[in-house]
Structure formats: C-alpha cells, structure tokens
Structure 1
Amino acid sequence: MSPKSVVLSVFILFLSFGLCFGFYIEDKYNETNYKYYTGPRRLMKQQHEHFMRRTRRSKGRVNVDDYGAIANDGRDDTEAFEKAWNEACSRGYILVVPEKCVYYLKPITFSGPCQPNTAFKVYGTIKAWPHMSAYEKDRRLWIMFDNVLNLVVDGGGIIDGNGWKWWQNSCKVNKSLPCKDAPTAVTFSQCNNLKVVNLNFKNAQQMHVRFQRCFNVTASNLVVTAPGNSPNTDGIHVTETQTMVISNSVIGTGDDCISIVSGSNNIRVTNVICGPGHGISIGSLGAGNSEAEVSDVVVNRAILKGTTNGVRIKTWQGGYGYAKNIKFMNIVMRNVTNPIIIDQNYCDQKEPCPEQESAVQLSNVVYQNIRGTSASEVAIKFECSKTVRCREIYLQDVILTPEDGGDTGTVAACENVVYANRGKLHPQCSFS
C-alpha cells in the first residue's frame, strides 16, 4: 500500500469514529446506557482525585483547622469557619474542609464580595448543629453563600442537615403542631457564575439546596438524599435564577427532586435520577394571588423511580402570569404515580382553597419520548384552569402502561386543555 493510501485510510478511520460518536451523543436516551452518564460513586471518585490534585498544587489554601476548628469532637466550629472564610474571601484563597473530619456548624453566612478565585472545598463532612434553639434568629437558613461571584463549591464531601428533629416537629408529621419554618440546608443567594459540583447533600432540615437570584449556575455530579417520608425536603430548589444547568445527579428526598419556581428562565436539567420524592416540578406558582414568570425550561434524559409524581406543573388558583416554553423529553418512568400532570388547582394547606377566576397561563409545553410504567390508572392528567385554559400542549411518542401489567390499562384525564399529538401516544385524552 502506498504512503498516500495509508494516510487516506487513517483519515477515513478517524472520520468514522467521529461520525459514530456524533450519532451516539445525539441518539435518543437509552436507559441501559444511563449508568455511563451518571454513576455517583464513580463520578465522586474521579472528581475527588482531580480536586485533590488541584488543591495540593495550590499555594493559596486556608484549612479550617488552622483557625481553631476541631474535628470529630461534636463541638461548635462556627467561629473557626467564619475566620477561615474571611481570610479566604479577602485574599482569593481556597477554604479547605479536610477529609475524614466532621465539623458542626450553627447558622452561618459566607458573604462576599470576595477576591477572584475564592473557592470552598468540602472533602470531609459539615454537619448541622443539633439544637433547634440555635436557629431562632432566622429559622429559614443554616448555611448561606451571599453575593460571591465566580465561586466554586466542590470536593466530594458531605453536607448533612441533621434534620431528624426538625422532621419530628413538622406540622406535616404531627398534625397537632403549628406550621413553622425550618432551615434550608444550603442557600446560594446572588451568586453569579457559580459552580456547585461533586458534593453529597443529605438529611436537610427542610430544602437541601436553594439557588435564589443567581445567574449562570452549574450544579453537577450531586447526590442529594433524605428519607421518602421527610417533610418538605426538596432536593434542588430554583427561584429567580437565570441560565442554569443541573446535570449528572442523583436525587431522592421527601419532596420534589427539583422544583423550579417564579423568576426562573433558561434552566436545563439533564441526566438526572429522581426517587423517592415528588418528581420534577415547575412550581408551585401563583400562591397568594401572586404573579409567576417561568420560561425556557428543558428536562432531558431522566429516570424517575417510585415517585408520587413524574413531571409536574402546579399552580394555585388566583395567581397570574405565565409558565411557557417548557420541554420534558427522553424520560423513563418506573412505577410512578401521576407520571405526567398539570395541576392548576394546587392547594397545599389545611383549609380548602376557594375557587378563583385568575390563573397562571400555561403554554407551549412539550412532552416527547416519555415511556415507562404508571402506579396509578390515570397516567396523564391535565387539570387546567376553567377560565385560563392550557394551550399549545404537545405530546409526541408518549407510552405509559400499568406497573402491575393489568388488563385495564391506563387512562388520561383532561380538562380545559388544547393539545396536539404526533407519533405514538398512550393513553389519549377523551373529552365528553
């Protein structure tokens, strides 16, 4: 074979690999390949080794032990973390929480603005102070990062909300108790160009991670866990945040795996496993007759297992505004109650909600390539507003069958909705 022929053959071989790879990444979601997208232990190990190498090379490190933190003794380390943060923030250094160490923190705020390159590396475990009296000043917060630009929070460690006592004192668990706020484990407020990657969040007092008024956020390679009966323990909550990617994460809690509420747009959720929990939700929206604005949300490649809802949009009566340009695609349901649901009569309170004419307008919502099994007979439920109908609802290649394999099949319950479908669809809406 001539040299020119050899070169041509090698070129064709590389071109073939490139084309194959291109087709692979564009191919429809395949559940059997999902483990290669998101294996939490494997991802954690790889990311941890990478970050440890980076941290060892860095000269600008601030170890919390050097500022008075004492690991594994059950004492309050809040003051030491505050001192370490002030040093890291003011100099653009990396705050390090060492591996195999457990530290207890009372409510704490890590405030900016900071010098560039400030980072927060959690290799060990941060655990919430167990005594509820420490939270009386503001029961809504435990750890907060406020107004820190270009922040990276990572490391492969654990942030543990220690929420058992809070759950026992929840009005949703003990109906005789008054309903009170409980802390969100970690809140990121006004943090632009933010990366939160390669972390474990567990047993939050209420929500696990909240992003509010942030811009350009990456949340990736996260494992978020709490018991399925833990009240209000949303995994990732997004509010008033624009341009965000949530990817390659495993979430199982007692409430929504992911909740996206008003003021949020351009949100991408991809390669996520959800369950137990209440599914992936847009909302709730419009509570207290408020205005809602959510747009340009894509949920692509997800598995939902044993959740009480699959992909859900929920709005209160009396609200106004819009939720539009939303796409759910390439999703597998396993034994999910209410796999596809729009609920515009949402009412999460003890007293019945009065009927009201105003409602959040839902439009241009796409459900594409959604398959699997339903734990309930009603696999598709569109309960839209009587006065503000859901419009431009599209379903394509949606097949939902009974989990028990029974002969009765699944049904769709549809009210006040204008929809179109193409490809395969089961069950289908029937209108009386």
Structure 2
Amino acid sequence: MDISNVNCGPGHGISVGSLGKNKEEKNVNGLIVRDIVFNGTSDGIGIKTWESSASKILVSNFVYENIQMINVGNPINMDQKYCPHPTCEKKTAHVQIQDLKLKNIYGTSTNKVAVNLQCSKSFPCKKVELIDINLEHKGVEAGPSTAVCENVDGSACGKMVPSALPELIQRPMGTMTLCYNTFIFSYVFV
C-alpha cells in the first residue's frame, strides 16, 4: 500500500495497529507513507502491537518519507507495549517489527517525546533506519524534544533532532554525511 500526498488534520494520524490481538492475524508487509503533512493531529505515524499478543506475525518493509509535522502530539510512535486497559494480562509479545525506514521527517511536536520507539524485549525491532529526523518541541513544557528508544536494532544518518542517539550524532567531513550503525539499545534520552 502506498499512501502519499495527503494533508491530515485534525485527527489521529496514520497508524498501523493494533496488531497481535487476534490469533488469526497475518503478516503486514510493504507500506509506504510519503509526502504527507500532519497538522494538529494527536499522532503522526505509528505502529501499535499488543504487549500480550495472541498471534505470531511479522511487520516489515515499511517506509515513512518526506513527512511534515505541524504541532503534532506524538509525531513518531512505534509502540510494542500497547495495552489500552490496565488489566492486560502480561504475556510474551510475538510480533516482530523489522525493515523500517524513517526518512526526512521534520516539524514540531506538542509533546516533549517527539520520537517514541518502544519495542519488545523478546522481539526487538530490527533494521530500523532513521535518516534526517528534525522534530522540535513547541509545547507547553519547557525544554527541547526528547526520544524514548527501547530494544531497537538500527542505524541513524544525517540530522537527528531530538538527538536520541548521542553516539550517532552526525560528524561532518567536508560535504560527506557519516552514518553510524548501532546494535540493540534501550535508553531514554533527555
């Protein structure tokens, strides 16, 4: 599926989920979301999977590219700990997210946490590429935008705001942009 050239707002953004709730669910593969403007939405782009998933599925080959966020609550929200009810039974997650590319995503977030990548400990997100992410905090709380990254295996390249991965900050050499690879990380950066 290719979603492109959409102006979205108000609303809930473009999310895939809630995956893993039912046993008969199938793999989700090949989503492209590009050339989108989110204006005043509660969320921007996201994937939600149930923390207590009933099905073993693969979510793969997603591309999010050229996306502008204008006063969006949660611009990037990948949540493998989704549980809308406080009484969710804690089981092992069985949804694997891999091969995600997030490129040229920019604008403003009304929440301090502009990038939320909360992946499962038992099925960490794999091959996540962050390329030129520039999301500034413009909300009521003071301070710059932040990121939450848990159990993610991936890489970052280009401009990174929030600087979610300090060890991956771009170091220019002439006109060359360096890209750095990471391995499993589980941090909250402020």
- TM-score for both structures, normalised by structure 1: 0.37
* Match in the other structure for 2:67: 331
In structure 2, list runs of 5 or more residues that go unmatched: 166-186
Which of residues 32, 35, 51 is equivalent to 1:298? 32
Greater share of residues in strand: 2
* Secondary structure of residue in 1 paired with 2:22: helix
- Alpha-carbon shift at residue 413 of structure 1 (Å): 0.4
- Alpha-carbon shift at residue 358 of structure 1 (Å): 3.0
Q: What do residues 117-149 of structure 1 show as CA deviations (whole Å, max 9, x unaligned)?
A: xxxxxxxxxxxxxxxxxxxxxxxxxxxxxxxxx
**CA distance change for structure 1 residues 407 and 358 in 2, over 3 Å: closer, same or farther?**
closer
Which structure has more relative contact order (CA 8 Å, sep 6+)? It is 2
Asked whether the 8 Å contact 2:115–2:147 carries over to 1, the reply is yes
* Aligned 1:266-277 pairs, distance under 5 A: 267-277=1-11
In the alignment, residue 297 of structure 1 is paired with which amino acid? Answer: L
- Alpha-carbon shift at residue 351 of structure 1 (Å): 5.0
Q: Distance in 1 between matches of 2:141 and 2:10?
A: 24
* Match in the other structure for 1:411: 146
Asked whether the 8 Å contact 2:71–2:110 carries over to 1, the reply is yes
Q: What do residues 96-135 of structure 1 show as CA deviations (whole Å, max 9, x unaligned)?
A: xxxxxxxxxxxxxxxxxxxxxxxxxxxxxxxxxxxxxxxx
Q: Distance in 2 between matches of 1:309 and 1:422?
A: 24
Structure 1 segments of 4 or more deviating over 2 A? 288-292, 404-407, 428-432
Asked whether the 8 Å contact 1:329–1:369 carries over to 2, the reply is yes
* Aligned 1:413-428 pairs, distance under 5 A: 413-428=148-163
Q: Distance in 2 between matches of 1:406 and 1:344?
A: 26
Q: Is 1:307–2:22 an aligned residue pair? A: no
* Match in the other structure for 2:180: none
* Aligned 1:244-259 pairs, distance under 5 A: none
* Aligned 1:107-186 pairs, distance under 5 A: none
In the alignment, residue 339 of structure 1 is paired with which amino acid? Answer: P
Asked whether the 8 Å contact 1:274–1:302 carries over to 2, the reply is yes
Which of residues 89, 93, 116 is equivalent to 1:358? 93
Identity %: 38
- TM-score for both structures, normalised by structure 2: 0.81
In the alignment, residue 336 of structure 1 is paired with which amino acid? Answer: V
Q: Distance in 1 between matches of 2:141 and 2:17?
A: 33
Q: Distance in 1 between matches of 2:89 and 2:109?
A: 31
Q: Distance in 2 between matches of 1:363 and 1:410?
A: 25
Which of residues 377, 383, 398 is equivalent to 2:133? 398
Q: Distance in 1 between matches of 2:33 and 2:18?
A: 17
Q: What do residues 44-78 of structure 1 show as CA deviations (whole Å, max 9, x unaligned)?
A: xxxxxxxxxxxxxxxxxxxxxxxxxxxxxxxxxxx
* Match in the other structure for 2:17: 283
Asked whether the 8 Å contact 2:50–2:93 carries over to 1, the reply is no
In structure 1, list runs of 5 or more residues that go unmatched: 1-266
Q: Distance in 1 between matches of 2:141 and 2:21?
A: 39
- Alpha-carbon shift at residue 282 of structure 1 (Å): 1.4
Asked whether the 8 Å contact 1:345–1:385 carries over to 2, the reply is yes
* Secondary structure of residue in 2 paired with 1:344: strand
Q: Is 1:320–2:37 an aligned residue pair? A: no
Q: Distance in 1 between matches of 2:81 and 2:26?
A: 15
* Secondary structure of residue in 2 paired with 1:310: strand
Asked whether the 8 Å contact 2:2–2:32 carries over to 1, the reply is yes
| Residues matched between the structures, number | 165
- Alpha-carbon shift at residue 360 of structure 1 (Å): 0.9
Q: What do residues 151-199 of structure 1 show as CA deviations (whole Å, max 9, x unaligned)?
A: xxxxxxxxxxxxxxxxxxxxxxxxxxxxxxxxxxxxxxxxxxxxxxxxx
Asked whether the 8 Å contact 1:292–1:323 carries over to 2, the reply is no
In the alignment, residue 315 of structure 1 is paired with which amino acid? Answer: T
Task: Identify which range, 394-403 or 282-291, moves more after superposition.
Answer: 282-291
The structure having more radius of gyration, on CA atoms, is 1
- Alpha-carbon shift at residue 368 of structure 1 (Å): 0.4
**CA distance change for structure 1 residues 290 and 346 in 2, over 3 Å: closer, same or farther?**
farther
